[in-house]
Amino acid sequence: MDLGLRQLDRRQGWRGISRRVQHGDDPSTWASEAWEAGIEREGVYDAVVMTVDKAVAQVRVADYTGSLGPEQIKWTKKSRPSDVFSAGDIIRVRVVSIDDTDQATFSLEQEPLAEAALVAIDPATSWIARRMSCSIEDENAAMSAPVGAPNRSRRSLTRPPRSAWPRGSGAAAPRAG
């Protein structure tokens, strides 16, 4: 679900840079708290833009450096990184790959504004299973849980009141009127 939200958000356009390294601070010394937990392939992290020219923007995530060129930013509808970034901008990137020399391949991301929800109804019992998730970890845990499993995470099972159950064949009796 997380990937689908990100794809939808990209189609709605680039919203621009929301944060910058504080004025007077050196981008090479800036660090995100999220980096302390480690950097993994396919993870989305804060990155700091180190340098920018017309062809490429050099960015850093923890100890890993890489570049964002026209191919990685084409979904922003801009052709040059210098039209999108400035040195000191804090952006979101996905770590596509990491090599042994602390070089990484990144793709530009942004946090989706959209949210998602799923409501599933069992037609045989009229039980309602509700789950909301915007993270891949929550989605995988909830999707792998068997139907009728105990309440875990953000998913809960509720049963409608007995008065709401269908009678006889399942069709509601017509009202006299």
| pLDDT over 90 (residue 61) | yes
Question: Tens digit of pLDDT for each residue in 7-45?
Answer: 777 777 788 887 888 888 888 889 888 898 888 898 889
Question: Tens digit of pLDDT for each residue in 95-147?
Answer: 999 988 989 999 998 887 777 777 777 777 777 765 555 543 444 444 434 44
One DSSP character per residue, 116-149 reads: -EEEEE-TTT--EEEEE--SHHHHHHHHHSPTTP
Average pLDDT over residues 77-97: 91
Q: Among candidates 112, 172, 119, which has minimal Cα distance to 136?
A: 112
Question: Topology of 14-31+40-109 in CATH?
Answer: OB fold (Dihydrolipoamide Acetyltransferase, E2P) (2.40.50)
Mean pLDDT, rounded, of the chain: 76
From-to residues of CATH 2.40.50.140 in the chain? 14-31+40-109
Looking at residue 93, what is its pLDDT? 92
| Rounded Cα–Cα distance for residues 74 and 65 (Å) | 20
